[in-house]
Amino acid sequence: MTSHSTNMRIKLPTICIILEVILIILFGVFVRYDKETDSKKWHAHHDNNGSEIENDFYYRYPSFQDVHVMIFIGFGFLMTFLKRYGFGSVAFNFLIASFALQWATLMQGFFHGMGSDGKIHIGIESMINADFCTGAVLISFGGILGKTSPVQLLVMAVFEVTLFAINEYIILNIVEAKDAGGSMTIHTFGAYFGLVVSRILYRPHLEKSRHREGSVYHSDLFAMIGTIYLWMFWPSFNSAITAHGDSQHRTVMNTYYSLAACTLATFALSSLLSEEGKLDMVHIQNASLAGGVAVGTAGEMMLTPFGSMIVGSLAGIISTLGYKFLTPILDSKLKIQDTCGIHNLHGMPGILGAIVGAITASMATHDIYGDGMANVFPLVADGEVTASGQGVRQAIALGVALGFALIGGCIVGFIMKIPIFGTPPDTLCFEDQIYWEVPEEHHASHEEMTAVATDEGMNA
Amino acid sequence: MTSHSTNMRIKLPTICIILEVILIILFGVFVRYDKETDSKKWHAHHDNNGSEIENDFYYRYPSFQDVHVMIFIGFGFLMTFLKRYGFGSVAFNFLIASFALQWATLMQGFFHGMGSDGKIHIGIESMINADFCTGAVLISFGGILGKTSPVQLLVMAVFEVTLFAINEYIILNIVEAKDAGGSMTIHTFGAYFGLVVSRILYRPHLEKSRHREGSVYHSDLFAMIGTIYLWMFWPSFNSAITAHGDSQHRTVMNTYYSLAACTLATFALSSLLSEEGKLDMVHIQNASLAGGVAVGTAGEMMLTPFGSMIVGSLAGIISTLGYKFLTPILDSKLKIQDTCGIHNLHGMPGILGAIVGAITASMATHDIYGDGMANVFPLVADGEVTASGQGVRQAIALGVALGFALIGGCIVGFIMKIPIFGTPPDTLCFEDQIYWEVPEEHHASHEEMTAVATDEGMNA
Amino acid sequence: MTSHSTNMRIKLPTICIILEVILIILFGVFVRYDKETDSKKWHAHHDNNGSEIENDFYYRYPSFQDVHVMIFIGFGFLMTFLKRYGFGSVAFNFLIASFALQWATLMQGFFHGMGSDGKIHIGIESMINADFCTGAVLISFGGILGKTSPVQLLVMAVFEVTLFAINEYIILNIVEAKDAGGSMTIHTFGAYFGLVVSRILYRPHLEKSRHREGSVYHSDLFAMIGTIYLWMFWPSFNSAITAHGDSQHRTVMNTYYSLAACTLATFALSSLLSEEGKLDMVHIQNASLAGGVAVGTAGEMMLTPFGSMIVGSLAGIISTLGYKFLTPILDSKLKIQDTCGIHNLHGMPGILGAIVGAITASMATHDIYGDGMANVFPLVADGEVTASGQGVRQAIALGVALGFALIGGCIVGFIMKIPIFGTPPDTLCFEDQIYWEVPEEHHASHEEMTAVATDEGMNA
């Protein structure tokens, strides 16, 4: 019975191999080089003019690598703050991200990247988009960190990536909202999806593992590696797929100032909310990033550094207040056990970002944007909608993202509960030892291990 | 009385909020997008020729992000070597850098970036310059690490950024010296400013905290993350604002070889200076970077890899000798308690870099530089001054930087001493626990904590 | 006698200083700026057309910095997994890489970069190539980690860099094989060279230090920093010196998907091979990178993402099996004590990469490559050889790399055994304390230290 719940020897290899075989077959059937990665097509176009720099690769690769660092180092290490779940944090992050980016290539391709030949043509932009989709999955992972098996995580990724692609298609191609940095498609969707999953997987006896939910001194320093990388490269994240030229440049700058302001607001609030005026590492590690989330939609717009700093400050304040007051309430009243506080870092700041985007869009004028309007708001430039109309579309997009997250998370949460996928017992949450060979000095005490059998019996 | 000195609940939020509100107001009044980040202006210029790559962003963004990594990861983690000050190192670094880069945008704008419309127009280059200015503040932080409150640090940043901008304006625009990598404006200024501040804040009873001034095994590994990132990205730092083309390319290469040579020199000296021939992590973490500082001025000149390697070797030797022999003397004789040894890593190598720059400038000929002279030494190219004249200007610039550092540091040090800003007691220097919620296993012993009250009484 | 073996006070400074002086002299005599880093030559060419972006720097610098991160952070931290050898891992990596990249500039210059003026002209591409050569040395370092003195490592680097340059010249310029990411020149060569050296330096009494050969919890997290950076930036590594345009873009994409597939395969196998289904950090840290090695040759070819994922999966499987079954056999039967398992991460995947390259090359047709054939297979494009002929050349190149590695490693291993270079006693392998000032809490026990004298007597 014990082995059924936590021994992954059959389950994990089976799901990994099945998924990778499916991926390989589907890639073989559907995926092709696009004209910028295909030797023949590229040279057919470029041999006469010889302009190598026309390849989009040279505009987007530095940003892509920054995004890649955020996905694997940023998210991975941010979650290592738990004293006994460092392996699971960085390595399960690595596993599900590696799967999700392959799967996202297919799903995003199916829903909005198919060529007239029925094939998905890929290049640097599809790689960035796959990393973005992966980001949403990792946000959801943060809400259930330490309380699921790796098989459950892969199952979640299969469905969440699919829903992400559909949601993204609706928001960008049907509603025609703008969301280059993903305040709605990535952060709002990923956060509320994860919160609902966490609600479905609610553990009434989680107090048996609460002593492991904190940090130790050096685990907080590992987490700061994640924080700082996310913070530094967020300008690349928000600008990675914006239009070349002023749009990309402006998005970087708006994000940079929003984050800087957010950091000061976070330190201020963190100290203010402590009786002794002491700073809390949880706030610094997380809330200081909310400024990046909150300009995910409006970053490419003419928000100005001034506007960005106001938004960033607000995001830092909301997020820190959330960690202090809202997370305990979500836990005790709503039965949402949000390990990393994704509601504070991605949920509320994501909604704030969507609102800021809607307001900024509705204030767009030709006088401000000039001919650049075509890049930022093509519908407004074409005269198809007014600026207010674009603002309304932005607001609708937020509703769509929330809807997909809440309904999708609910369904996927119940799927994840199917016993075959395994799950840790309540006594061994936030504990690497059940899935990892852990070096000797770090074994759980004998008492804890013997407690497992009993608990597992209760769970099963 | 105790709470007066270390409880930051009122002070820290107050100063953070006041500063951020001032920043937001001043940004609203004075700061505007430049023509490369403004949608309308950009498209007015570029829609006809369509050349997106003309945007300076694509030349400078990769270097900018490398500099950003140096500021936040490099400086932040380099200082985590202290066994009990990891939170303060990486997170106060994060706080004051986030403030300083906003403030620097304004100060540098006021002194040398104002447009004819009375506005500061910003883009990628102003972001790099803001990060550079922030670097100087973080260097000074290294000299007083563990001995100040975060409020004192923010106060220092307010004044130091302002003085930096004035000093930089005089050196680059009045003296018209060259200093692309900041041997003078950043390193010499930041180091001697910090040393004077450290002198003013001299603590005669610091021996009460000396047992916390060392490292533990893993804190030294965290510090190596900082070292390696600084080392790797220093070529980007020195070249970030040089002219495009050969200048930027050459600066990278000179810095690369200087650092490589410096590393060998540092290992040689570190072993030689130990009785048992054992290497000292303090030397490896710091002195191996001196080669980057020492080519901060001459890196863009025709120094050659050969010349760079000589300079780098010298810098490594001087810096390691400084750690071994000079730091203890500064402490005991001059009452300068230099926590990170900034005199060895930034002070002396900065002066060396200024001298190398002056010599290299005075040897410039049209035969060596060709038409590239206009980029490196515009005054010489225009025939306004001779090469020797440029050399003299370089030497004057060093004097200006030293003057600003010594006088400025003195004034700012006394300001920082004002009791309202708070400061740790002598018994609790280099200790995170006074400003941070620290995870349980890491509490200072009961004895230490009870010792505080007594000591605070003495300090107050 | 004891001091003879482990005290480095004379040896290490002597070899560092001698090597650096030789480097400086040879750089002074032979090394010059190339036309893209020389002020005069650059402006003679470019002042009329003004096209700054023609400088190769802007295409290659972001990739170069990624490679740089792999060399210094990637390799350096990957090896910090050992509980008591973190300083030696990251800092000796730093030392020998700093030397090797200078020496490689000269050796690669002598063998295939000399201009008609008898000088070596250097720029961004030579810096990348120097980092590549350094990579091979660091791979070999992994095979002998913890069992050599820093002087032995520098001696190894002197000879291995030289042999690397000759081997590379033969493979690329005489055999005219393709190997942009170095499956053969870097990974196969570096791994088998290191394995033979490890065989020559075989220690029959290494069991006296085996208790130090494992990890502790946080050392495994430090190692994951190395792993993740290597994994993320491997696309930059494989593409750093490919042709601009589609080739560079395609190489990045192939490597990205190979690695993603490899990660899933590694998790599957790691769990499957454990009785309790528990994942092993050694596998995750290392085998998940084999997918990058295995597309080092074919990455720039029209391998397709589909093909890359198959290759990556195979690499992950082979590598994990190697860690589980082959490493113990190499140790017990063949007397090869491979500390980091370089045979599994670089050796077998390198050979796999060479074979995949040969097969992919032999399947090249003009119908697939179009005019891009000239970039990928110039000999085939010119009609000098058939695709099969190119495949044969690729296979010959593998033989050359293996030959150089085995014979070279043998000779260099014996040179390294010369007593004057010093070496740790069998009782103090994998122990920082003999070469480093280690913070107090980490001292080896008194028993261990007293055991040294005895053992040293036996060794000497």
**pLDDT, tens only, B151-202:** 999 999 999 999 999 999 999 999 999 999 999 999 999 999 999 999 999 9
**pLDDT, tens only, C228-284:** 999 999 999 999 999 999 999 999 999 999 999 999 999 999 999 999 999 999 999
Q: Is C441 an interface residue toward B (CB < 8 Å)? A: yes
Could you tell me the pLDDT band of residue A110, with boundaries at 50, 70 and 90? very high
- Given A53, A233, A306, which is nearest B27 (Cβ)? A306
Chain B interface, mutation test: which of C4, C20, C236, C434, most B Cβ atoms within 10 Å?
Answer: C20
Whole-number percent of chain A with pLDDT over 90: 90
Look at residue A355 in the predicted model and tell me its pLDDT: 98
Q: Is B304 an interface residue toward C (CB < 8 Å)? A: yes
What number is the average pLDDT over the span B209-222? 96
What's the mean pLDDT when you consider all of chain B?
93
| DSSP characters over A55-103 | STHHHHHHHHHHHHHIIIIIHHHHGGGSTT-HHIIIIIHHHHHHHHHHH
- Given A59, A228, A267, which is nearest B58 (Cβ)? A59
**Model ipTM over 0.90:** yes
How far is it, in rounded angstroms, from Cα A454 to Cα A7? 16
Look at residue B5 in the predicted model and tell me its pLDDT: 66
Look at residue A94 in the predicted model and tell me its pLDDT: 98
C174-196 burial code (b ≥16 CB/10 A, e <16): ebbbbbbbbbbbbbbbbbbbbbb
| DSSP characters over B159-213 | HHHHHHHHHHHIIIIIS----TT-IIIIIIHHHHHHHHHHHHT--TTGGGGGGGS
Q: Is A268 an interface residue toward B (CB < 8 Å)? A: yes
Beta-bridged to residue C351, according to DSSP, are none
**pLDDT, tens only, C272-311:** 999 999 999 999 999 999 999 999 999 999 999 999 999 9
Which CATH fold topology does C2-39+55-459 show?
A: Ammonium transporter fold (1.10.3430)
Look at residue B441 in the predicted model and tell me its pLDDT: 65
Look at residue B113 in the predicted model and tell me its pLDDT: 75
- Decide if A279 and B39 are in contact by the 8 Å CB cutoff: no
How far is it, in rounded angstroms, from Cα A152 to Cα A197? 11
Look at residue B112 in the predicted model and tell me its pLDDT: 83
Interface A-C, measured as beta-carbon pairs within 8 A, has a size of 216
Assess whether pLDDT exceeds 80 at residue B100.
Answer: yes
What's the mean pLDDT when you consider all of chain A?
93
How far is it, in rounded angstroms, from Cα A162 to Cα A19? 14
- Decide if C435 and B281 are in contact by the 8 Å CB cutoff: no
Look at residue C115 in the predicted model and tell me its pLDDT: 87
What number is the average pLDDT over the span B368-380? 96
10 Å CB burial of residue B22 (0-12, 13-18, 19+) is middle
- Decide if B250 and C38 are in contact by the 8 Å CB cutoff: yes
- Decide if C38 and B267 are in contact by the 8 Å CB cutoff: no
Residues of B with Cβ-Cβ distance to C46 under 8 angstroms = 245
Residues of C with Cβ-Cβ distance to B278 under 8 angstroms = 8, 434-437
- Given A216, A276, A373, which is nearest B7 (Cβ)? A276
**B219 Cα to chain A: minimum distance (Å):** 8
**pLDDT, tens only, A245-262:** 999 999 999 999 999 999
**B42 Cα to chain A: minimum distance (Å):** 6
**pLDDT, tens only, C400-431:** 999 999 999 999 999 999 999 999 999 999 99
Q: Is A98 an interface residue toward C (CB < 8 Å)? A: yes
Look at residue C46 in the predicted model and tell me its pLDDT: 75
Could you tell me the pLDDT band of residue B54, with boundaries at 50, 70 and 90? confident
Q: Is C329 an interface residue toward B (CB < 8 Å)? A: no
Could you tell me the pLDDT band of residue A48, with boundaries at 50, 70 and 90? low
C31-70 residues touching B, CB cutoff 8 A: 31-33, 36-44, 46-47, 52-53, 55, 57-58, 61-62, 65, 68-69
Q: Are B423 and B149 in contact (CB under 8 A)?
A: yes
Q: Which chains, if any, share at least 3 CB pairs under 8 A with chain A?
A: B, C
| DSSP characters over C273-340 | TSTT--B-HHHHHHGGGHHHHHTTTGGGSS-HHHHHHHHHHHHHHHHHHIIIIIHHHHHHTT----TT
Look at residue B45 in the predicted model and tell me its pLDDT: 78
- Given C216, C217, C372, which is nearest A42 (Cβ)? C372
Q: Is B363 an interface residue toward C (CB < 8 Å)? A: no
- Decide if A442 and C228 are in contact by the 8 Å CB cutoff: no
B129-168 residues touching C, CB cutoff 8 A: none
| Weakest mean pLDDT among A42-46, B49-53, C32-36 | B49-53
**For residue A460, what are the CA distances in angstroms to A5, A155, A415, A422, A449?**
8, 20, 17, 10, 17
Look at residue A112 in the predicted model and tell me its pLDDT: 83
C110-129 residues touching A, CB cutoff 8 A: none
Q: Is C102 an interface residue toward B (CB < 8 Å)? A: yes
**A421 Cα to chain C: minimum distance (Å):** 14
Alpha helices by DSSP H, C337-386: 342, 348-362, 366-369, 373-376, 378-381
Place of tokens 């003004």: C50
Look at residue B124 in the predicted model and tell me its pLDDT: 97
Q: Which residue would you say has higher pLDDT here, C58 or A6?
A: C58
What number is the average pLDDT over the span A275-296? 97
Look at residue A53 in the predicted model and tell me its pLDDT: 59
| Weakest mean pLDDT among A367-381, B35-49, C370-384 | B35-49
Look at residue A17 in the predicted model and tell me its pLDDT: 98
Interface B-C, measured as beta-carbon pairs within 8 A, has a size of 213
**pLDDT, tens only, B307-344:** 999 999 999 999 999 999 999 999 999 999 999 999 99
Look at residue C447 in the predicted model and tell me its pLDDT: 45
Look at residue B446 in the predicted model and tell me its pLDDT: 44
Look at residue B6 in the predicted model and tell me its pLDDT: 82
- Domain A16-41+55-459 falls under CATH 3.30.2130.10: no
- Decide if A87 and C281 are in contact by the 8 Å CB cutoff: yes
From the list A164, A190, A235, A161, the residue with the least C-alpha distance to A347 is A190
Nearest CA in chain A to B14: A268
Nearest CA in chain B to C69: B232
**pLDDT, tens only, B193-205:** 999 999 999 999 9
Residues of A with Cβ-Cβ distance to C249 under 8 angstroms = 36-37, 55, 57, 123-124
**pLDDT, tens only, C104-115:** 999 999 998 788
**C377 Cα to chain A: minimum distance (Å):** 12
Look at residue C113 in the predicted model and tell me its pLDDT: 75
Q: Is A218 an interface residue toward B (CB < 8 Å)? A: yes
**B31 Cα to chain A: minimum distance (Å):** 8
Q: Which chains, if any, share at least 3 CB pairs under 8 A with chain C?
A: A, B
Q: Is A236 an interface residue toward B (CB < 8 Å)? A: yes
- Decide if A16 and C268 are in contact by the 8 Å CB cutoff: yes
Tokens read off for A348: 């509320």
**pLDDT, tens only, A448-460:** 444 444 444 344 3
Look at residue C65 in the predicted model and tell me its pLDDT: 98
Largest CA distance in chain A: 74
From the list C253, C232, B236, the residue with the least C-alpha distance to A67 is C232
How far is it, in rounded angstroms, from Cα A242 to Cα A249? 9
- Given C263, C279, C305, which is nearest A122 (Cβ)? C305
Residues of A with Cβ-Cβ distance to B74 under 8 angstroms = none
- SS3 at position A458: helix
How far is it, in rounded angstroms, from Cα B320 to Cα A207? 53
Residue length, chain A? Answer: 460
Look at residue B376 in the predicted model and tell me its pLDDT: 97
Helix axes A124-144, A150-169, angle to 10 degrees: 130
Nearest CA in chain C to A54: C245
**pLDDT, tens only, C324-376:** 999 999 999 999 999 999 999 999 999 999 999 999 999 999 999 999 999 99
Q: Amino acid letter at C6?
A: T
- Domain B12-35+58-459 falls under CATH 3.30.1490.190: no
Nearest CA in chain C to A437: C280
What number is the average pLDDT over the span B451-456? 45
Residues of A with Cβ-Cβ distance to C55 under 8 angstroms = none
